[in-house]
Amino acid sequence: MSDLRFQQPDGDATLKDWQYVHNVIIPTHVLSLDEVRERSGRHHLEIAYLGDTLVGCSTVRPPADDTRTATVIARVLAAHRGQGFGEALYARGLRRARELGAREIETVVLSSNEDGLRFAQRHSFIETERYLLPGDTIPWIDMRLS
């Protein structure tokens, strides 16, 4: 993992890398490049590369209003799971959320992402809500760090 590096998207090429990982892992909620650009202004986004190979991305939604709750999401492409990349992305996201003033940490996982659910449960997240977004057929699961 010594060649693992992290980068905030800083132009269309890196925004497209973040978009690619998101859209592969969340095929029920495909984002356009414009939507990713908009998110990059509201959230802390990072991309993970092993050398020049794209392996994953993360999102930290900062605490809003007085909730002191941040959302941390780590995504790793299937071919790169089980190698510690998710751990590294999650640790960085958790640290960033705390720097932004979060006292509570949440995540959200598409229920069909069994690897993501197992990862969240292993890191002491518990389910708080299961729901469908309009037009979706696969439920989302909101989870809170216990």
pLDDT averaged over every residue in the chain: 95
Q: Which pLDDT value is given to residue 137? A: 92
3-state SS assignment for residue 125: strand
Q: How far apart are CA 116 and CA 112, in angstroms?
A: 9
Residue 76 pairs in a beta bridge with: 56
91 vs 136: which has the higher pLDDT = 91
Length of the chain measured in residues: 146
Residue 142, pLDDT > 90, answer: yes
**Strand 125-131 vs strand 104-110: parallel, antiparallel, or unpaired?**
unpaired
Mean pLDDT of 120-133: 96
Where does the pLDDT of residue 67 fall: very low under 50, low under 70, confident under 90, or very high at 90 and above?
Answer: confident
Main-chain phi, psi angles of 93, to 5 degrees: -65, -40
Q: Which pLDDT value is given to residue 110? A: 95
List, for residues 31-64, the tens digit of each pLDDT value. 999 999 999 999 999 999 999 999 999 999 999 8
Q: Phi/psi zone of residue 54: left (φ > 0), alpha (ψ -120 to 50 degrees), beta?
A: beta
CB 5 within 8 A of CB 49: yes
Q: How far apart are CA 51 and CA 33, in angstroms?
A: 24
Q: Which pLDDT value is given to residue 1? A: 61
3-state SS assignment for residue 72: strand
